[in-house]
Amino acid sequence: MTDSLSHLHFSSFQAARRLARAPAREPEARLHGHGFQLALSLPDAQNKDQGEKTQDSAKKLLNDLTDLWRTQVAEWDHQSLNDFVAHPSDARLLQALAKSLEGYRCEMALLSMPDRGVRKDGEGNYFVWRSYRFESAHHLPNVYSGHKCGRLHGHGFQAVIHIPLSSINQEWNSDYQILDQAWAPLHATLHQRYLNEIPGLSNPTSEWLAVWIWGRLREVLPTLSWITVFETPSCGGHYDGKTHRIWKDFSIDSATKEQGMTLGHTWTLRLNLEGSLHPTLGWAMDFAEVKREFEPLFRSLDHQPLNEVVGLETPNSAGLAQWIREHAHQVLPQLSRVDALDGCGGGASLDWGGGGIQVLAP
């Protein structure tokens, strides 16, 4: 599979809106405000009826597209969105932003609140997602003796439900209500419960929990796209009815030199892995094993000047992702994508696993 490198840009703005088409009982029918968050993913090389770009022209195009995006966002900041977009629901706002970059293959996401948003993939398909939190106890009965997850413990889980944007009621955020209704019975079953005692969850790994949720939601949401389960804020799993993917986040505090300046960042590195579930353990890979295998590479990056790391020719987010891709494949053969975020609203994503599920959000 060919490596696919994308550049990530994050921004935010504050704005007011009123969704006049929302039912009168809904708070969104009244004038209210939000702190919106936005994410943009641009492929490393763009084409628009002009063939292959040279490296310099491709870089200029990326900068021009990013500036165009930021100009549009700045125009909306601290304004009434109704003055710019008729019936400015989350979907219609993202569609307006996408129109400003029409013709270019890019992914976008808009969050009006931390637990909900709309996403556009590179093919132009739109998805709505909503995150739900539940507090539960569990243990993993099949792990080896001494594994901490074999002991009874608990988590503040999050389940994120993704569905295609519906073709009706896009003039207000009706899809969120659809997701709320579908989730309510599952929340009653999972919240403040001992998961192992629930039928079908005798071995409640993140991966198996995603499968369990998928099976029940598909009965009421036949167009369900995928489920994401956060076991902790830094690790979890995705399931789309076919493929299991997990991720584990790492944080490195490192310095670098770019264009003659010495810079420092707290980078977030997200390792994305793909694999079949172990028939006994019920996971694609143990999160603790991911951490253990990545530890030597982590130590070579954390609290280090990245421009002195052997083989790291370009000490930025894209270079980090490529360096990890090259050095981690032997110890983590399931690795299929690396995301590197620099903490200043930028980053890069390197995907060689065939376009796996991406939670594109700030």
Q: In one letter, which amino acid is 12?
A: S
Which class for 310: exposed (0-12), middle (13-18), buried (19 or more C-beta within 10 A)? exposed
Against a cut of 0.75, is the pTM above it? yes
Q: Mean pLDDT in the chain?
A: 90
Question: Would the pLDDT of 30 be above 70?
Answer: yes
Q: What is the pLDDT of residues 300-316, one digit of tens each?
A: 999 999 999 999 988 89
Beta bridge partners of 253: 266
Residue length, the chain?
362
Q: What is the pLDDT of residues 271-294, one digit of tens each?
A: 999 999 999 999 999 999 999 999
Once rounded to an integer, what is the mean pLDDT over residues 5-33? 94
Cβ within 8 Å of residue 339, ≥6 positions away:
8, 268, 269, 270, 272, 321, 347, 348, 349, 350
Once rounded to an integer, what is the mean pLDDT over residues 188-202? 97
CA 75, 81, 84, 89: dihedral to nearest 10 degrees?
Answer: 120
Which class for 18: exposed (0-12), middle (13-18), buried (19 or more C-beta within 10 A)? middle
Whose tokens are 């006049």? That residue is 20
Per-residue confidence (pLDDT) for residue 261, from 0 to 100: 87
Kindly report the number of other CB atoms within 10 A of residue 146's CB atom. 7
CATH topology (fold) of 1-122:
Tetrahydropterin Synthase; Chain A (3.30.479)
Task: Report the alpha-carbon angle 51-97-351, nearest 5.
Answer: 55
**pLDDT tier, 360 (very low <50, low <70, confident <90, very high otherwise):** low
**Domain residue extents for the chain:** 1-122, 125-242, 247-362
* Secondary element (H or E) of residue 70: helix 55-76
DSSP symbol at 330: T
Cβ within 8 Å of residue 296, ≥6 positions away:
none
Kindly report the number of other CB atoms within 10 A of residue 75's CB atom. 11
Question: The tokens of 187 are what?
Answer: 């929340």
Instruction: For residues 319 and 316, give the distance between their C-alpha atoms in angstroms, rounded to a whole number.
Output: 5
Question: The tokens of 341 are what?
Answer: 């975020």
Architecture of the domain made up of 125-242: 2-Layer Sandwich (3.30)
Class of the CATH domain delimited by 247-362: alpha beta
User: Percent of the chain having pLDDT more than 90?
Assistant: 75
Q: Fold identical between 125-242 and 247-362?
A: yes
Per-residue confidence (pLDDT) for residue 71, from 0 to 100: 86
Per-residue confidence (pLDDT) for residue 87, from 0 to 100: 95
Question: Would the pLDDT of 155 be above 50?
Answer: yes
**pLDDT tier, 51 (very low <50, low <70, confident <90, very high otherwise):** very low
